[in-house]
Structure 1
Amino acid sequence: MASHIQSPSRDLPRPGIACTLTRVSITLLRHYFEFTAGLLCTSPSTNSPFITVVLPLAYTDELLMHTVLALSGTHLECRQSRRHAGSMAAVDPEMQHATGLHYQKIISGLRCEMVNFDTANNQKQTRILLILIMACHYEAISGDKSGMMLQHLRASRKLVRRLLIQPQGSSNIDQESLGFSLELYAYLSIVNSLASYRNTGELAQPYDTFLTSLDGLSSYSTFGSMFAGCHSLYELIPHISQLSVEYLAGEKILGDDWIPSSKLRLCYESIEHRIATWKLPSSLDSEAQYKTSDITAAAEAIRHGLYIYLTTSFYGSSRPDPIAQSQLGVEADIVLALATSVKDINIRTILLWPCIIAGSCMVHEEQQKRLISALLSSGFDMKHLFNLCEMLELMWNENDASVYGPYGLYSLMEKRNKYIPFL
């Protein structure tokens, strides 16, 4: 599990009203900086922006602090339940009640902020963006299946689009908070790529060119805390998602007569070349050097996950032929072997996406069991992880040949009217 870290309270003002809402609220704050924050990004706990950026702001911002405490509380619930074989009876009812109260404060506070929203105030927009992104984490970890996280992302997108047109270095914007929030938004939007298959309704996630070129974020001091040098790999996920959506659109119109255009094929080949030739940047920051082998393994897992995602994109809603399935199964094995070789828990934070993408193409029971075992023993006691494992098992047991691959996983979620978010 994440190592304990020093409380930052020496250098911060006394906690505000949010931390006195209940008797256990201050315990939730302690749990956040000792455990929760260390499981949310690739940076070591000692310099994680979830500590260095979020906490100082939360100490002077009651709504942000409520978000921190609710997030910590739902994580603590998961840990308590997990320790007792999933029994909710093991969860401290007082702590559970406190978490619910803090969550109510988030929702009522955001509603109030939206009523009085000032589109000309960039500083307030940056503040609300960070709160929304933190709320996304709460929704995922709490196990929400209604798509509330995607709704928060859509609301965040409006703020991101406004803030991106502001000149970098604007004096009225907290640059650290902005940079970290933008990277968090980009990361969550990208790894929740299955949502791009839905093209209508409030849970639809529009295609954003911003997500396909993340170099603009590299000037912010917190850059890399989510991507760990792999941002140019992540940029390919939205490209592949769009490719898959276009393929499915053609298939829907022409059925078996559908043949991808030369433009679509060239796009496929271009992405395939970028995946094949990608190299981890040689200039990892000095603090990450000791993790290089783990980062390399994680990057390779993502790279092979991308290959699976790309290959299945040109099968549309159909199941690949047995030869292709066999090749995809080999790729899935590679992803699993690489993912399980990563020892550093911070670096493991970026492995869920490739593991689930790989899992969607696993057809052999032994392979499936190894993946579920690896995910459940990864050190992340969070409900979205358990829900994704459950969805994979439902997928593997589905008596429908078309339920295969990333699109098959999305289709099963749609069929059951559930969306399981990724972190």
Structure 2
Amino acid sequence: MSTATDQQNLPQEGARYPTKYRRNIPRSKNGCLTCRAKRKKCDERRPCCTSCARTGRECTWPVSAEIPSTNETSESNGSAQQHTTLPSRPRATVPTTASIPEVLENTSSLRASLTFGTLSNLSSSSRPLYDQYLDMTAELLARGPSADGNPFINYVLPLAASDSLVMDCVLAIGGAHMAVLEPDRPQLEVMTRRHYARLLEGLRKALCDDAACPFGERDEDKKLYTLLILIMLCIFEGVQGDNSGAVYHHIRASRHYVMELAADTYKPSASKKTEHIRGFLLEIYAMFALKLAVTPRGLQEENPVTVDPFLGSLEFLGQFKSRGFMLGFGHRLFAMIPDISNLLEKRRREELSGSTSDGLFESYKSLLKKLDSLDPSSDVLEDEDACPRYQQSTAVAIYRTALILIVHSAFHQDIHKNAELLAEIESRIDKILPLCWAVYTSKSPLRRMMLWPGSILASCCKKPEHVHAFRLGLNSNPRSPGGVREAAKAVELLWQDDDPRAYGPRGLNMVMKKHGLSFSMC
């Protein structure tokens, strides 16, 4: 298998610290993980240290049981392995959920250990891609808090430290984000494509059972590994802003492996060391599948995403410590999406056949009533690590409104001519806009979930003040990945289109087809 690390015979340990004279004072290891990863001095102010507050980075702290005492600190001129280098491990070893705190305790912090250990084997051209993933991209990928912190760091990076294909995933994702943020540096695109090519080659070998699996040699281990790579490809497409519909192909390929994984959800896992990976992959898949099922598909219109029955309830996520990192609110609302998706697809086929059904229209009205009756304040997660209730209920209200507009649009071909319905939609946007703006301007991780509903709501805007507000919202984050920028461009094309049908989700789908676009809005 190709590798993301240099082919030179580099030492497995990181470079030793300089042996110049230092004061004989033990180093404090009580600083935040972010400062330690960056090798910066931390003033240890909680909950957010001065350095993180100044740079706008996420300030992450180890739990108290994981903070080494000053008696456990090493002398400053010891070897790197004595300090923070992650010991090299055989490829078939993967940290378990239980071992994550041990890694933190034994190496000062997960971030620091990976930085020192893995980067010592990366080429100088690949190292910035890793830094990008660690410092910025991983934070943007997580859509909510969880008991296990950010799985894109705490789960993925230990794997990347011992598996070259997972490392290629990390480098491709970090590189894609860098290329979006710095389009005037074409070499970033070259480096990213290099890792992406390695990733595709590694996936081909995994599909042919011709790749070493870090989880073990059992059939279920290999399937889990293949699913991990496919899901990371979905993440990559969103970060780079692919607009050709590649994510739809990846999620359909993932479904084959997810169905088997979901069938065993409530069974005791034969491999406890991969339990956290199972939860990680199932929640990401659920997020993608549910959103794609109700997203205007553009060029992919004829290829709907199948939403399987197990997604009709998200209770299965409760057994995993990572619950909430992607779907941290509104589980009752999300559980309605399979029925909504099924209704939308029936309506699409009905239009294609030129027929109409009173029964289908009654289902539409019944579904609208059900959506309107859902109380956002009651559809929240009560986990200790979950976002505050008011943030969750706000997000639920926004998603509920977007789903209502999706359903309205599906059942009214000439919605732009229906004055009564247009007035109702305008009123709904008037009410929900302050909530949208509150989320867009907040520091809540739930704001990273606002691309899909924001795009749907924006497609229904006619008032100049509504258009202006959503334009600001969709373009508010200068660090946003490519998928956000593609969605903002598509909505802008809709607003600028003179065709009166260019309105709402149906109009957005028309404009996307006109311009050859198809992307996830996830």
- TM-score by length of structure 1 reads 0.86
- Which residue of 108, 119, 125 maps to 2:201? 108
Distance 1:200 1:128, change over 3 A: same
The CA deviation at 1:281 is: 4.2
Distance of 1:254 and 1:205 partners within structure 2: 23
- Tell me the CA shift for residue 338 of structure 1: 0.9
Q: Distance in 1 between matches of 2:163 and 2:369?
A: 46
Structure 1 Cα separation of the partners of residues 447 and 434 of structure 2: 13
Amino acid at match of 1:115: C
Question: Partner of 1:151 in structure 2?
Answer: 249
2:124 equivalent to 1:124: no
CA apart distance, 1:348:
0.5
Kept in 2: contact 1:194–1:410 (CA 8 A): no
Match of 2:283 in 1: 183
Moved more, 155-164 or 271-280: 271-280
Give the aligned partner of residue 67 of structure 1.
169
2 CA distance for matches of 1:206 and 1:316?
24
Shift of residue 184 of structure 1?
0.3
**Does 2:124 align with 1:23?**
yes
Q: Which has the larger radius of gyration?
A: 2
Partner of 1:85: none
Displacement of 1:341 after TM fit?
Answer: 0.4
Are residue 352 (structure 1) and residue 445 (structure 2) matched?
Answer: no
User: Residues 19 and 320 of structure 1: is their aligned pair in 2 closer, same or farther, counting only changes over 3 Å?
Assistant: farther
User: In 2, are the aligned partners of 1:243 and 1:264 still within 8 Å (CA)?
Assistant: no
Structure 1 counterpart of 2:329, which letter?
G
- How far does residue 157 in structure 1 lie from its aligned partner after superposition? 0.8
1:172 to 271, 279, 285: 271
Match of 2:25 in 1: none
* Contact 1:2-1:39 within 8 A present in 2 as well: no
Q: Name the CA distance, whole Å, in 2 between partners of 1:139 and 1:36.
A: 13
CA-CA distance at 1:237 after TM superposition: 2.8
Which amino acid in the other structure matches residue 362 of structure 1?
Answer: C
Q: Is residue 286 of structure 1 aligned with residue 341 of structure 2?
A: no
Q: Distance in 2 between matches of 1:199 and 1:398?
A: 18
Written as runs of structure 1 = structure 2, the 5 A alignment for 1:316-395 is 316=413, 318-319=415-416, 321-342=418-439, 343-378=442-477, 380-395=479-494
Structure 2 residue aligned with 1:40: 141
How do 1:230-245 and structure 2 match up within 5 A? 230-245=330-345
Report the Cα distance in structure 1 between the residues aligned to 2:466 and 2:424, rounded to whole angstroms: 14
What is the CA distance between 1:158 and its match in structure 2? 0.9
384-393 or 200-209, larger mean C-alpha shift: 200-209
- The 2-side partners of 1:317 and 1:133 are apart by 38
Gap change, CA 1:115 and 1:268, over 3 Å in 2: farther
Indicate yes or no: 2:422 matched with 1:422.
Answer: no
Distance in 2 of aligned mates of 1:199 and 1:120: 39
Q: Cα deviations across residues 146-205 of structure 1 (Å, max 9, x unaligned)?
A: 111111111111111122223533223611111110110110122223458689899542
Asked whether 1:228 is paired with 2:328, we answer yes
Partner of 2:34: none
CA contact under 8 A between 2:298 and 2:510: conserved in structure 1?
A: no
- Once the 2 structures are TM-superposed, how far is the Cα of residue 357 of structure 1 from its aligned partner? 0.9
> Mean alpha-carbon deviation: is it higher for 206-215 or for 176-185?
206-215
d(CA) in 1 for partners of 2:474, 2:149: 26
Instruction: Specify the SS of the correspondent of 1:232.
Output: helix
Q: Say if 2:397 is the partner of 1:397.
A: no
Q: Is 1:410 aligned to residue 509 of structure 2?
A: yes
Match among 54, 58, 64 for residue 3 of structure 1: 58
| Larger mean Cα displacement after TM superposition, 348-357 or 124-133 | 124-133
What is the RMSD computed on CA atoms of the aligned residues? Answer: 2.9
How far apart are the structure 2 equivalents of 1:200 and 1:114? 25
**Farther off after superposition, 379-388 or 125-134:** 379-388
Moved more, 145-154 or 357-366: 357-366
Name the SS for the 1:218 alignment partner: helix
From the superposition, tell whether residues 419 and 160 of structure 1 become closer, same or farther in structure 2 (CA, over 3 Å): same
Q: Structure 1: 5+ residue runs without aligned partners?
A: 82-87
Tell me the CA shift for residue 388 of structure 1: 1.0
Higher relative contact order (CA 8 A, sep 6+): 1
Higher normalized helix content (fraction of residues): 1
CA distance 1:210–1:271, shift in 2 (3 Å): farther
Q: Does 1:269 align with 2:366?
A: yes
**Quick check: 2:129–2:171 contact (8 Å CA) kept in 1?**
yes
Aligned equivalent of 2:406, options 309, 314, 331: 309
Provide the C-alpha distance between the structure 2 equivalents of 1:379 and 1:287, rounded to a whole number of angstroms.
Answer: 28
- The TM-score normalised by the length of structure 2 is 0.71
